[in-house]
Amino acid sequence: MKAFVVEKYGKDGVRAAEVPEPTVGARDVLVKVSAASINPLDKLVRNGEFKQLLKYRRPFVLGHDVAGVVTRVGSAVHGLKVGDEVYARPRDLRIGAFAEFIAIDVDDVAPKPASLTLHEAAAVPLVALAAWQLLIDKAHVKPGQKVLIHAGAGGLGSTVIQLAKHLGATVATTTDTDTEKLVRSLGADVVVDFTKEDFSKVLSGYDLVLDSVGGANLEKSLTVLKPGGLAISVVGPPDAGFAKQLGAPSFLGLVMNTLSRKVRKRARALGVRYQFFFMQANGSQLRKIGALYDSGKLRPVIDSTFPFDQTLDAMAHVEQGRTKAGKVVVSMVPDNG
């Protein structure tokens, strides 16, 4: 089958290749890929950013988001059958959405939301799971709390805005002039145009900040939190909790803590908290998330679509910052709804 594989770590390390169709274990489903989507995580894995923690054996197929049709089920699989339309964020070390077929552990798979096309569903799993795990599992967001979401028009930000609003939070976001209308339509109550204003000068008293920008933006984010508030970053620096989550040796946890020492020290001085976040595959959560899409509480935001043979162009589109809003989808077939 045709796939896009990481042959070596680095910007030019991905190439199109013919690889064997994946083997199907007892707890796996084999999915014929209809569409996949691009995530910043694809670039990080391609570049070897997590190679000490995620020990992929090269060459390996890249791609963290997939929607498609089940073509085979393992002997221990229950609840899914051949012909079912599904979506998933396959677990780490078993990614591979940029291919014609992928074998996925049944625990990572969920039926595609009925209201979405396979094309739309491919844009959902990673960002929706991240939003769920950030807001519900990690921050325990309650009605009336104040949440600041940076880069609100992005694939992650646009999803977190919608879920935070559904949970009853007051939602602020940063974006640019071109996407202000979009983020308001998604539920943002307060919009700061970062091309005109410094969010840290106009916002204060927030319970939670989600940072997907990093650097100085993260440090400024600490200052808008109320005492005891929490800043969560998806771009780092990582902390010991990340190493523990991935089952890494304890010494790597110490390394991660060293990397995040400055920001954690700054947070303590301000009486707030900092955590790094790395999402996990979870099919049961995808089932709950699917119900929110089907009820109209959430909707996918798609920037553009590329044919499968232009997967590298799709990755470059994201990497070069040409995405205006939402996700970039790679489709095996034209999306005709």
Q: What is the pLDDT of residues 70-121, one digit of tens each?
A: 999 999 999 999 999 999 999 999 999 999 999 999 999 999 999 999 999 9
Domain ranges of the chain: 2-123+301-331, 126-276
CA dihedral 139, 140, 141, 147 (to 10 degrees): 0
Higher-pLDDT residue of 259 and 124 is 124
- Average per-residue pLDDT for the chain: 96
The CA–CA distances, whole Å, from 264 to 91, 199, 218, 251 equal 29, 21, 11, 19
Task: Please report which confidence band the pLDDT of residue 142 belongs to, taking 50, 70 and 90 as the band edges.
Answer: very high
- The span from the CA of 153 to the CA of 175, in Å, is 6
Task: Please report which confidence band the pLDDT of residue 334 belongs to, taking 50, 70 and 90 as the band edges.
Answer: low
Higher-pLDDT residue of 68 and 251 is 68
Task: Please report which confidence band the pLDDT of residue 167 belongs to, taking 50, 70 and 90 as the band edges.
Answer: very high
Query: For residue 336, is pLDDT > 50?
Result: no
Identify the CATH number of the domain defined by range 126-276. 3.40.50.720
- The span from the CA of 134 to the CA of 74, in Å, is 32
Query: What architecture (CATH level 2) is domain 2-123+301-331?
Result: Alpha-Beta Complex (3.90)
**Residue 198: how many CB atoms within 10 A of its CB?**
11
- Whether 2-123+301-331 and 126-276 share one fold: the answer is no
Q: What is the pTM of this model?
A: 0.96
The three-state secondary structure class of 234 is coil
- The span from the CA of 125 to the CA of 161, in Å, is 16
Q: Which amino acid, residue 271?
A: G
Residue from 332, 308, 328 nearest 320 by CA = 328
**Low-confidence winner among 81-85, 211-215, 236-240, 269-273 (lowest mean pLDDT):** 236-240
